[in-house]
Amino acid sequence: MKPNLKQWKQLMLFGICAWGLLFLVIFIYFADNNSVEPVPSAFSYIEDKKLPPIQGKQRVIMGALQDPSLSYAIDEGILNSFKSGPGSLKTIADVENYFESEDEFIMSKKKKATVYRDSNQSARYRQSSHSRQRKTRRNVRRAKQQMLEESDEWNGFSSTMSKSFLQKLWKGNVSSKMLTPRLQKARREYLRANKLGVSFSGKQNSRKLSAQELLCILKKRAHVRTLDGKEAPFSNLGWEKYFPHIPLNKLYPQGFSTCAVVSSAGAILNSSLGAEIDSHDAVLRFNSAPTHNYEKDVGNKTTMRIINSQILTNPSHHFSDSSLYKDVTLVAWDPSPYYADLHMWYHKPDYNFFPPYEHHRKKNPNQPFYILHPKFTWELWKIIQENSNEKIQPNPPSSGFIGILIMMSLCEKVHVYEYIPSYRQTDLCHYHEQYYDAACTLGAYHPLLYEKMLIQRINQGTEDNLLRKGKVTLPGFSTLHCPINDHIT
């Protein structure tokens, strides 16, 4: 009898341990997953990790390649489903209410199937603890979201961005919690790494500023500044002769009446915006974005090109001989340390673009070719941070945001295309490349989400233009009437 009891006890103890272990394994699995979407190449977005990137050294999250065959045809019916068509948006609003304050994120079609399987399999283990029950409820809601997105109203564009997220973006009402777990993780990792030594001493504005207040802050503080060779180390190196003698803000003494800023987003494909873009007095494009073969959608006029330091240093861009970089005004930039110490930056730029810049200037002394002063880019970053209610990535804003601000200081009216995505939103990163990653639109390295929300807040165009054309209308600084001593609290 006695040994039997002991055996029973041992057996029970063993059983409890086994269940405990099983519970722990399951808990870790689901806690770590925190999502339906597995994190592809979980560490690939941090350069410090020294893992082989997909396209060389990169500044954005890569991975999550999607099947290009998921691309979609745009038709009026789909567009109308974004508008207040009977029934459809009401249903969506209902579901949105239901989702209120939940971690809302969006799944690629392929991943969605996994969610179902995942939630069914795990249901067996989810009875005892509260947190597990919450998880079950969340999966049910996700399943509903899935059904919603697969319904007629949402045809599952080639995008991991849900319709409701897009609608919130148009209203400037999104937060990082609504991003996919992968992008959330990237943001957290960049915040943790803080590679450029950002220490933000300003404060976030205690209230949401009006569009006019924001515009006046931008006008007051976003003074375009380029290197002029008068500061060390450039003065000691005799670089004054390389920098253009006329500063960028005086290059066009008459300014421009209307300007177009053309984002490189894949969503501009099939937009037929080319003629409209070309009708502007000046057109700004970015990096290696071509016009040839894409004229119908992006036009063919280019007045200025903002290029990041990768363009000058990565041989694949053929910077010295490509026609993309000829006969236009060039403005180059590179992420510097936060305090914009020019010595440190010159000796350790993100990409060493100084030698190719010097080479190009010697060969093409008459082409207006500027290097942005890092103080300008960091000032823009501060304005974004001050007006965001979350910590933004401690990295400079994207070329897009920088370019918009440059054009606002040169033009009376600025139209920005597909920076804030239209209903054509897709994960296709660029209109000229078969590469899919939502990070290109919503940001991993760059604080793109917050930049876009700021631009949305100062948009003076109609919502219809935003959702149909991805078009934002902004006033030039010269047209703004701002109080001289505005004090924002």
The residues that touch ligand NCC, with contacts defined as CB under 6 A, are 55, 58-60, 263-266, 286-288, 308, 310-311, 398-400, 419, 429-430, 440-441, 445-446
Q: How far is the CB of 59 from ligand NCC (least distance, A)?
A: 4
Please give the structure tokens belonging to residue 330: 């060039």
Identity of the residue, 151 or 270, whose beta carbon is nearer to ligand NCC in the bound complex: 270
Please give the structure tokens belonging to residue 153: 């109203």
Phi and psi based region of residue 157 (left: phi greater than 0; alpha: psi -120 to 50; beta: remaining): beta
State the virtual CA torsion across 344, 348, 353, 357 in degrees, nearest 10: 40
Please give the structure tokens belonging to residue 438: 């939502």
Please give the structure tokens belonging to residue 221: 């503080």
CB atoms within 10 A of CB 376: 21
Phi and psi based region of residue 425 (left: phi greater than 0; alpha: psi -120 to 50; beta: remaining): beta
The packing angle between helices 163-170 and 448-458, to 10°, is: 50
Identity of the residue, 51 or 237, whose beta carbon is nearer to ligand NCC in the bound complex: 51
Q: Which is nearest to 332 in space by CA: 384, 300, 286?
A: 286
Identity of the residue, 115 or 429, whose beta carbon is nearer to ligand NCC in the bound complex: 429
CB-based closest residue to ligand NCC? 400
Q: How far is the CB of 380 from ligand NCC (least distance, A)?
A: 12
Identity of the residue, 50 or 130, whose beta carbon is nearer to ligand NCC in the bound complex: 50
Q: How far is the CB of 453 from ligand NCC (least distance, A)?
A: 13
Please give the structure tokens belonging to residue 197: 């030594």
Q: How far is the CB of 473 from ligand NCC (least distance, A)?
A: 17
CA distance 448 to 453: 9
Phi and psi based region of residue 238 (left: phi greater than 0; alpha: psi -120 to 50; beta: remaining): left
Q: How far is the CB of 417 from ligand NCC (least distance, A)?
A: 10
Identity of the residue, 227 or 429, whose beta carbon is nearer to ligand NCC in the bound complex: 429
Q: How far is the CB of 377 from ligand NCC (least distance, A)?
A: 11
Rg for the chain, CA atoms, rounded: 25
Identity of the residue, 266 or 337, whose beta carbon is nearer to ligand NCC in the bound complex: 266
Q: How far is the CB of 287 from ligand NCC (least distance, A)?
A: 4
Identity of the residue, 184 or 441, whose beta carbon is nearer to ligand NCC in the bound complex: 441
Please give the structure tokens belonging to residue 346: 């010159």
